[in-house]
Structure 1
Amino acid sequence: MKPFLVDVPVLILFFNRPQQLSQVFEQVRNARPSKLFLYQDGPRSEHDLPGIKACREVTDQIDWDCEVHRMYQEKNYGCDPSEYISQKWAFSMVDKCIVLEDDDVPSVSFFTFCKEMLDKYEQDPRITMIAGFNNEEITPGVPYDYFFASTFSIWGWASWKRVIDQWDEHYTFLEDKFNMQQLEQLVKERKFRKDFIYMCHRHKENNKAYYETIFHASMLFNSGLAIVPTRNMINNLG
Structure 2
Amino acid sequence: MTTQLAPIVIFAFNRPNHLAELLKSLSQNKEFAESELYIYVDGPRDSSGLKLVQETREVAKSFLGVKAKHLVMREQNLGLGSSLKTGVTEVLSKSDKIIVLEDDLIVTNSFLKYMNAGLTKYQTEPKVASIHGYCFGFDQPIKDPFFLRGADCLGWATWKDRWESINWDPRVLLNRIENLGQIQDFNLDGSHSYYSALQGEAKKGFHSWAIYWHASMFSEGRLTLFPGTSLVEYAGADGSGTHVVENSEFWKTEISTETNWVFPEVIAESEVGREQLIAYYYRIFPKLPLLGRIFRRIKFEFKRQFKLI
TM-score, length-scaled by structure 1? 0.85
Residues 1:167 and 2:169 are matched in the alignment: no
SS at match of 2:40: strand
- What does residue 181 of structure 1 align with? 178
Displacement after TM superposition at 1:204 (Å): 2.8
CA distance in 2, matches of 1:191, 1:29: 37
RMSD between superposed Cα atoms in Å: 2.5
1:15-94 aligned at under 5 Å gives the runs 15-31=13-29, 32=32, 33-60=34-61, 61-62=63-64, 68-94=69-95
CA distance in 1, matches of 2:141, 2:234: 21
Residue 136 (structure 1) shift: 2.0
Show structure 2 runs of 5+ residues with no match. 237-309
1:7 to 5, 8, 18: 5
2:134–2:155 Cα contact (<8 Å) kept:
yes
Distance in 2 of aligned mates of 1:186 and 1:175: 10
In structure 1, stretches of 5+ residues that fail to align are none
Contact 1:30–1:108 under 8 Å retained in 2: yes
Runs of at least 4 residues of structure 1 off by over 4 A? 63-66
The 3 A distance-change label for structure 1 pair 139 and 160 is: farther
Deviation per residue, 1:100-144 (Å, 9 max, x gap): 1010111120111000000110010111111111112795353x3
Contact 2:151 2:217 in 1 (8 A): no
Counterpart of 1:132, as a letter, is G
**Bigger radius of gyration, 1 or 2?**
2
Distance 2:121 2:146 in 1: 14
Change (3 A) 1:168 1:153: closer
User: 2:172, 2:195 → 1: CA distance?
Assistant: 11
Q: C-alpha distance in 1, partners of 2:111/2:171? A: 35
Report the secondary structure of 2:182's partner residue: helix
Structure with the larger RCO, 1 or 2 (CA within 8 Å, 6+ apart): 1
Answer yes or no: is the 8 Å Cα contact 2:177–2:219 preserved in 1.
Answer: no
Query: Match of 1:62, SS?
Result: helix
2:214 alignment partner AA: H
Whole-Å separation in 1 of the counterparts to 2:201 and 2:108 = 33
The share of aligned pairs that are identical, in percent, is 25
Q: Structure 1 or 2: larger helix share?
A: 2
Do the aligned residues in 1 keep the contact of 2:150 with 2:216 (CA within 8 Å)? Answer: no
SS for the counterpart of 1:81 is: helix
Q: Which amino acid aligns with 1:165?
A: E
Taking structure 2 as the reference length, the TM-score comes to: 0.67
